[in-house]
Amino acid sequence: MDTGMASSYLTTSLFPGSNIPSLSKSTVSLPFPLQLFGAHGMAEVHWRRGLSVAASTQNPSPWVAEPDVKEGDRERDDGYGAGSLNHVYYNPKKVEFRRPKVGSWAASVCDFVERAVVWAFDAGLSDKKAYLLFDNYAPVEELGPVGDLPIIGTIPECLNGEFVRVGPNPRLKPISGYHWFDGDGMMHGLNIKDGKATYVARFVKTSRLQQEEYYGAAKFLKIGQLKGLRGLFYIAVEKLRLSLGVLDESNGLYGGNTAFVYHNNRLLALHEIDKPYAIRVLDDGDLQTMGLQDYEQRLGHSFTAHPKIDSTTGELFMFAYQEKVPYLIYRVISKNGTLREPVPITIPECVMMHDFAITENYALFMDLPLRFNPTGLPKGEFIFKFDPSKESRFGILPRYATDESQIRWCKIPTCFIFHNANAWEEGDEVVLITCRMPGIELDLELEFKKEKAWSVFSKLFEFRMNLKTGEVKQRQLSSLSTDFPRINEEYTGRKTRFVYCGVFDELNRVIGVVKYDLDEEPCLTTGDLQKGGNVAGVFSLGPGRSGSEAIFVPLKRGMEGPEDDGYLILFVYDENKGTSEAVIIDAKTMAADPVATVKLPRRVPYGFHAHFVSQEQLMQQA
């Protein structure tokens, strides 16, 4: 969720005629109601509590001009896949901390105003609201490479490389409301080489992180603060800090805490309301942030946390959603790193669109009613609200379209979707395999009032969209509560037989991994973690053990051999021992005993998405 999105929208929509300056302007004017407050000293207390505790067949249009590439360099330039254009490496923008030009008085004024807002509207960060800062959600410190880890079993040779997973890990204690989407990005890496393993944990070194470290306190607006009237005041505080030069947003907005993608010989850390951060894996497995990958200012918008790569063409397909028109932007990046012109897509309003899908000829977008809700703040509502009275629909666009004129919208029953497994074409139909839920509540305060953790309760579904008739059919494929779907990504955009998902309990913890065989008929009579119907295999993590996303690593690259010939790898936490392991599972047999288990030097907190970078890719890093 974009806190900057909320800030810019609310300035114009909820404070018409006010003096609150735009984020993009440098004018300094104390807005209402900030002149009511005086100054105080800057907060310098570093947070340590909890640190030791417990991811068309049309001809292409012109590409955006790229640096140092001459027309003669193109042996065959169709802009896509098979073309042999020399690789274009845009230098990442170094995220170097610059000491604020303003004096400490400006920071002190802003801090005082913020504390006044906390006193007036929020009792602070109570233990109940901060549930996602304790137990195995609690943050950890960075840890340099620790090698020669104990291993039970033998690590397969195809896993030589780096397994990385990212997640929210707040460096400094939040001032007030905290949402799981808020934390700074912490990368957990497992480097595997010749049967040995090394673990490392590093922050994504964003500008946001470095600025807050300088002040010794959390300063940037958090999603968890964007509820009710107090949210408007927190936005005003953010704008004041930006206007006075206390904070700087020119080098990125967020924390790179959601996912990874490897493209054009670079590993990128992603967050859907920011630009990517280039990460380099060093020889010892350490993870180094190279800078903000803004494609030398050619990327004028954010970058989805779930881009898709066509393994046949090598292209990357991505989108961005934003609070201003156009609310949706689609874009393609060639396998060599060249950006195609953006394609604006019209949707009625800004919605949270976390994922999308591609087929061999189409891109599929999800316009679902989790609405950006700034006008609900004065009513006490959260910044994003699911509205079942609004339409749910899929948009299907030729994937090399130069504009939105050919998009086809298909209405579907009301729902919300975080993650898709895959999509492909069958005759006149586009098939989507996804994890669907009937609705979603992102206001964690409401969820806690129900005395349970934020729950997913999504289930695997199949959608079939007929491109000739416009008819849409949906079919439930499982009774299990599942999400984090993964496939053999060599088959992205092409028919898939097998899907692997995390199985969630009612406390929103991953307690196992399930393998679905889409060629088999589903059995919907039980929600138990057991084989039967299209459930081809299950792997239970065991009592008191929970994990995060499991990713599939193929035995061989390309679509050679069986689709399910490979391994699953994930981090698992043992709540009884307070320790973590990396567990490797045979994805073909789903045997109860893991192929190998790597004992980690400390616990790995729950997080979001993971990726595997092969040894060959590590050697080709730009």
3-state secondary structure of 228: helix
CA distance 589 to 582: 19
Dihedral Cα 407, 411, 416, 418, nearest 10 deg: -30
CA distance 314 to 332: 11
Q: Does residue 301 have a known ligand-binding role?
A: no
Retrieve residue 557's tokens.
């690259």
Q: Does residue 46 have a known ligand-binding role?
A: no
Q: Judging by DSSP bridges, how do beta strands 429-437 and 459-466 pair with one another? A: antiparallel
Farthest-apart Cα atoms in the chain, separation:
70
Secondary structure, 3-state, 84-150 = CCCCCCCCCECCCCCCCCCCHHHHHHHHHHHHHHHHHHCCCCCCCCCHHHCHHHCCCCCEEEECCCC
CA distance 430 to 496: 13
Residue with tokens 């906390």: 118
Q: Does residue 419 have a known ligand-binding role?
A: yes
Please answer whether residues 433 and 420 qualify as being in contact, where contact means their C-beta atoms are separated by less than 8 angstroms: yes
- Report the side by side order of strands in the sheet with 266-270: 259-263, 266-270, 277-281, 287-292
Length of the chain: 622
Q: 68-91 in b/e burial notation, b at 16+ Cβ within 10 A?
A: ebeeeeeeebebbeebebeebbbe
Query: Phi-psi region for residue 28, left (φ > 0), alpha (ψ -120 to 50) or beta?
Result: beta
Binding residues for Fe cation: 306, 354, 419, 609
Annotated binding site: 306, 354, 419, 609
